[in-house]
Every structure is written in C-alpha cells, then in structure tokens.
Amino acid sequence: MTRPGLRPERSRRVIVAALTACLCAWLVVPVAVRSADSLPAKLSDLEFWALIDSLSEANGYFQSDNLVSNEDTFQFVIPRLLETTKPGGVYLGVGPDQNFTYIVALKPKIVFITDIRRGNLDAHLMYKALFELSADRADFLSRLFSRKRPAGLGADSSVAALFAAYGAVESSQALYDETWKTMIDLLTKQHGSPLAAGDIAGIEHVFSSFSSVGPSLSYAMNGGGRGGMRYPSYQDLQLADDGQGHQRGYMATEENFKLLKAIEHDNRIVPIVGDFAGPKALRSVGKYLAEHGATVTAFYTSNVEQYLFQNQVWGEFARNVATLPQDETSTFIRSCFNTCVSPVGSRSVSLLDSIPRLLRDVNEGRITNYSQVLNHSR
C-alpha cells in the first residue's frame, strides 16, 4: 500500500533510502588488529568449556535438524580460497561437519562454530569425542556407524573403499553401547565437561541417528521434509571432490583426518550457540580474537543470510561482522540455493566474498537486499 500523496516510484525510493540509512547506521568501523598473535597453541579443558559458556546465547530454532549438510558442491571454492588465504588464522562457521573440510584445507589456529541451535553444539561435541577416541579413519567410521571394522582397511585405503566396506556391515548394539559410554566418559571425566542432561540427550540424538541409518544419513526438514526431494547423504559428501577431481573432504585422506584429530585434541574447535544477528555470540568472539591479536581468515555462513534478510535483521549481522578482526584477505564463504547457476546442476552453489569490501559497500548504501549480497559474491 502506498501512502496518500506519494507516487509508487517515489515510495519505493523512500523505502530503499530508509533501509540503506538504517543499515549504515548499524555498522561500526572494523576493529584494529594487534600486530602480535597471542592465540594459544591449545586450550585447556577449563578454557574450552568456559569459552562455550561465556560466548553462547540462548538456544534457538531452525527448520531442519542439520545433522548432514544439504550442500553437495561446497568443496568447489576451496582452490580459489587457497589462492588468497594463509594458514594459521581464524575460521568461523555454522552448521555440522562440512566445516571440517574447510578446516583441513585452511589449517586455522582456532575455530569457532556458531549456530542458533544448541543441537549443533551437541553434534560437534560428539565429533570431538569420536575424533579423539579414533586411531584412524576406519576406526572413526566404525564408531560413528556402530559397525565392526572390516578387515583390510588401513591408512592407504581410499575413501571409496572405506565406505564400500562399511556399507556391507550391519550395526552392532554392543558397539553402540560401548562407544556411547566411552564418549560420555571422555567428555565428562577426562575433559571435565559439565554436560547438562539436555546436552547428553542432544548428543545421543545425533549419535543414534548415525548409528541407525549409517552412511546414507542425509539432511532432513523438521516435520517431514519436502516431498520427493533427495539430499546428499553423508557418504555422498565424503566421496565428493572440488570439481577438479581432487577429493578434499576431511575423510578423503589419513592426513586430513590426523590434522582434524589434532585440532580437536587441542580443544581448538569451539562450538557455541548464537544467532548471527544476536547481541552477544559473534561480538564476543570478535572481542576474544581482538584481545589475542588474531584475524579472521574465513567465515562460512552457508545461506543463513537469506533468513536474516527474511527476518529483517541482516543489518545487525553486518554490524556484528564489523566487530570481527579482519584484513583485506578475510573472506565469506556463502551458499546460494536454487537461484544461482551451478556448473554441475546442483541446487546449491558455494560463493566467496571479501568481508571488508562487503562492509564498505554496505556503508556506502550499495547493499540493501539478499540478491545484492549474492551478486557481490563470486
């Protein structure tokens, strides 16, 4: 509806101008980065749990369980990402284990995974325990799927051979029970986690899902999903490549697995609960990084920004991002669903974008909607 006395085209200009002014007002100047990086080589258990508690916001809701990613080409941007970034920085992400593939590629010094659902934090605690308990990839998959390890698997086994072998094995209740007890003991006794009953139930939900379904577990919508739509399975994603024939998944090689195992062992993947547009989580991460002279290398947002625009809070997210220590190489990794052209016919397309350049263009009024954010990416 148009206000009386205001022509439709003028009304649209007024609305856009108001939105632009609002977005600009929400932003702040990015924080300065100290010259010396003082991030610890590892976090103590006390520091790890304290960060989770102090940085997290209240539990929120999302429309899907997100146990497995529904993005099947997220490796495609890794070759370009490696051209402009350096190892040893800071990785920020959202969602489940697709982050691990970016982590082994970028080799950050510390990782913060921020998700609105506490269930995502629980999933990452499950992965932490399994990585620490497992000697190699075959051992990890045995524990994840509660299936006895087939003979003949070793460090040189291809990821295809691993999944072919486990696809022929039935799940074991005895192995499930043993792994479950060992995981919870590791988190609560060895690492001293003050796990609440809700978190224990959340970890069990994730673990039982992988155990009961196995390698074919895939993304699902809460309430039944979208009729007839097939999403990639956990196995599909682990067998995927970067579009150039190079498999970069965290299960692709023993080297990738060992790197991730070491990072988890050192408590350097910190899962927290937070709304990207919320008042605490991202800003607290930014404060911690600034205090340690650290710079964000990459921030994987998936397609969360789409929902932030729908809820008219993307400007708050932009303001939060501006508090993160960054430089000219700091990069968004985002996902576009259904509206971007995929070279392989996928529903999702992964894109890269310069964080400081996006913030400058927001300040100058050139970004006011989600389409412009996608067009700003490459």
- 284-306, pLDDT tens digit by residue? 999 999 999 999 999 999 999 99
Cβ burial, residue 36 (10 Å; 0-12/13-18/19+): exposed
348 Cβ contact partners less than 8 Å away, ≥ 6 residues apart: 70, 71, 72, 73, 74, 303, 335, 336, 337, 342
pLDDT score at 34: 52
pLDDT, mean of residues 206-233: 79
pLDDT score at 229: 63
pLDDT score at 11: 41
Confidence of residue 63 (pLDDT cuts 50, 70, 90): confident
pLDDT, mean of residues 72-81: 96
Please give the model's pTM, rounded to 2 decimal places. Answer: 0.90
pLDDT score at 32: 54
pLDDT above 70 covers a percentage of the chain that reads 88
Judge whether residue 58 has pLDDT over 80.
Answer: yes
SS3 215: helix
The position carrying tokens 């990416």 is 377
- 28-38, pLDDT tens digit by residue? 455 555 557 89
Judge whether residue 228 has pLDDT over 50.
Answer: no
Choose between 65 and 243: higher pLDDT. 243
CB atoms inside a 10 Å sphere around CB 215 = 20
State both tokens at 155.
């460090």
pLDDT score at 16: 41
DSSP per-residue letters across 328-376: TT-EEEEEEESSSPPTT--SEEEEEEEHHHHHHHHHTT---SHHHHHHH
